[in-house]
A = this chain, B = another copy of it.
Amino acid sequence: MSLVDSVSQHIPQILPPFVFEPSLLPDSGAMRGCVDVTFDLRHAGRRDLSIGWESVGPIDAPVVFVAGGISATRHAIASATFADAGWWQAQVGVLDPQHLRIVAIDWLGADGSLDVPIDSADQADAIAAVLNVLAIDTLEAFVGCSYGAMVGLQFAARHGTRLRQLVAISGTHRTHPYASAWRALQRKVVALGQLQCDETHGLSLARQLAMLSYRTPEEFGARFDTEVSIEGGRARCAAEDYLDACGARFVERFDATAYLRLSESIDLHRVDTSQIRVPTTVVAVAQDQLIPVDDAYALIEHIRADTTLRVLHSRYGHDAFLKEHDAIAALLREALVDVCGVAA
């Protein structure tokens, strides 16, 4: 493990929740903080880093670490203290902060200040550093989706003694050359946009291209008309309003450098699955354009522990974890049945 032992641990908000913003609501065991560490990044050498984290739920409850895609944040589930909806709010029925302690981080690089190649292994080590500071020895489960699943696999390979089980949804041990090519072109679009003064233009377009890879022809066929109009002397397709809106929302909250480095991090990802000795549930989506189901088969082949593979069918493709609320909830309940407080 390349983590340098806690050279600096600046943790002003690490004491019990009432120190922060106390609330009388029962789910208020919520806290946030930053962990400052010095790290040997896999591809970029030693760096001083600050890792933002959030924890919601009783401090003595079983701990589940949750990780989403590259645009997800430490705020997965709302609480009285941090009341805006989390990125995985739809799963609050299973990831219930009444019974579980849900921990998450902001990805290394998410603030755009780390302009170097970032590896999924670096993220796994960042999570381990946060757990050290929070005095969490062992996770009952790591539930990761998309990039979060990749990081979960790295965590299982690198810090497996601290993990009882992994749930990896729509992410595998390596990236597929076609998916990598698609992301590489998105990054080139961002770079083209950066030649302008306003880099949001390219970033918006890259996000729109990414949306095509996250979703499927089936969804677009059901959702959008085949009619194409002519506006201002140019053809305008039915999906363009939707895609424009996706791009505009994204550039409001995301930085171009962060996008470039986290997109790249997906492509740099690779795990030796024979190093994983943690019981693992793998969820693949048959229609996922980025993660072929064959790669999910290859993933479970060499894991040295119990594995379960579930293949969902969803017109939402790679985004099924954000859209197929009931199916994902059922899978999570099944996987987490042994974690205290999750009703089967």
Q: Which A residues fall within an 8 A CB radius of B? A: 43, 116-117, 174-185, 187-189, 192-193, 195-196, 201-202, 205, 208-209, 212, 216-217, 219-221, 223-228, 230, 233-240, 243, 264, 267-268, 270, 289, 292
Minimum CB–CB distance from A244 to chain B (whole Å) comes to: 9
Chain B residues with CB below 8 A from A219, complex form: 178
Q: Which of B188, B201, B239 contacts A181 (CB 8 A)?
A: B239
**Interface contact B292-A221, CB-CB below 8 Å:** yes
Chain B residues with CB below 8 A from A264, complex form: 234-235
**Interface contact A225-B188, CB-CB below 8 Å:** no
A228-B267 CB under 8 A given contacts A217-B178, A234-B117, A239-B177: yes
- CB closest chain-B residue, reference A242: B181
Q: Which of B189, B216, B226 contacts A205 (CB 8 A)?
A: B189
Chain B residues with CB below 8 A from A235, complex form: 117, 184, 264, 267-268
Q: Which of B189, B220, B267 contacts A177 (CB 8 A)?
A: B220
Q: Which of B196, B243, B270 contacts A195 (CB 8 A)?
A: B196
A236 to B177 CA separation, bound complex (whole angstroms): 11
Interface contacts beyond A185-B243, A187-B234: sample of 4 additional A-B pairs, CB < 8 Å, sorted by A: A175-B226, A181-B237, A226-B270, A235-B268
**Interface contact B212-A243, CB-CB below 8 Å:** no
**Interface contact A176-B217, CB-CB below 8 Å:** yes
Chain copies in complex: 2
Minimum CB–CB distance from A258 to chain B (whole Å) comes to: 15
Chain B residues with CB below 8 A from A234, complex form: 117, 187, 264
A138 to B117 CA separation, bound complex (whole angstroms): 62
Chain B residues with CB below 8 A from A267, complex form: 228, 235, 237
- CB closest chain-B residue, reference A224: B177
**Interface contact B177-A240, CB-CB below 8 Å:** no
A43 to B235 CA separation, bound complex (whole angstroms): 10
29 A-B residue pairs with CB within 8 Å? A43-B230, A116-B233, A175-B228, A177-B220, A177-B226, A178-B217, A178-B220, A179-B217, A180-B237, A180-B238, A181-B220, A181-B224, A181-B239, A181-B240, A182-B212, A184-B237, A184-B240, A185-B208, A185-B212, A189-B192, A192-B196, A192-B201, A217-B292, A227-B270, A228-B267, A228-B268, A234-B264, A235-B268, A237-B267
- CB closest chain-B residue, reference A265: B235
Counting chain B CB atoms within 10 Å of each CB, the highest count among A178, A202, A227, A243 belongs to A178
